[in-house]
């Protein structure tokens, strides 16, 4: 199975410097354009199915991309962005101590923010998602998710710690191609 991992289109909060996590904001005009262009790029791969995070920005991206694809879309909470607790909805000018804790997220698994999800919590969701793919019978799958979630899965594929920052955060509507045959699902336990 070929998997095309994609990040959602640009949102209003992306432009305002607000951290979204499990909260949401709508796509900007640019984000809508990115999503439609993503669909055109994905059409070259002839995908069979879109799996999207259940958060609004990812689902909006999936629906706009699907204008060029016309394939089924399913959603999953396993693809949600990492939760950053009390920092969610805050911009970089607010809650300086929380932003400092956020910037230290690459130093260890836990983040010193009330209600924040650890990197290994996200990794657990990633593994659960990947195990579920064994019952998905498609040749090419599109997965639309979020930046930190995608960084964690890239860390897994690269053999890095879940909280590592060695993998680049994908830009909005970037595509990361991966062939599931080259990865051993048995190694995920």
Residue 157's nearest CA partner among 124, 118, 187 is: 187
Active site residues: 8, 81
**Centroid of chain to Cα 94:** 25
Token pair of 67, please? 């204008």
40/155 Cα distance (integer angstroms):
28
Radius of gyration of the chain, Cα coordinates, nearest whole angstrom: 16
Cβ contact 2:45 at 8 Å: yes
Cβ contact 131:31 at 8 Å: no
User: Three-class SS of residue 100?
Assistant: helix
76/145 Cα distance (integer angstroms):
10
C-alpha triplet 9, 157, 84: angle, nearest 5° = 50
């Amino acid at each position: 199975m070929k998997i095309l991992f994609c990040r959602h289109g640009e949102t209003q909060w992306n432009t305002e410097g607000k951290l979204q996590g499990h909260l949401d904001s709508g796509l900007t005009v640019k984000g809508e354009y990115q999503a439609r262009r993503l669909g055109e790029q994905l059409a070259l791969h002839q995908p069979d199915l879109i799996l999207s995070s259940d958060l609004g920005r990812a689902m909006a991206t999936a629906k706009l991309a699907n204008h060029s694809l016309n394939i089924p879309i399913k959603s999953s909470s396993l693809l949600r962005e990492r939760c950053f607790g009390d920092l969610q909805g805050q911009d970089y000018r607010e809650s300086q101590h929380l932003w400092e804790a956020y910037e230290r997220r690459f130093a260890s698994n836990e983040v010193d923010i009330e209600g924040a999800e650890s990197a290994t919590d996200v990794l657990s969701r990633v593994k659960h998602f990947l195990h579920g793919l064994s019952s998905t019978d498609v040749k090419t799958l599109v997965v639309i998710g979020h930046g930190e979630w995608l960084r964690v899965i890239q860390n897994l594929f690269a053999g890095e710690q879940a909280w590592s920052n060695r993998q680049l955060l994908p830009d909005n509507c970037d595509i990361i191609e991966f062939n599931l045959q080259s990865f051993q699902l048995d190694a995920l336990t």
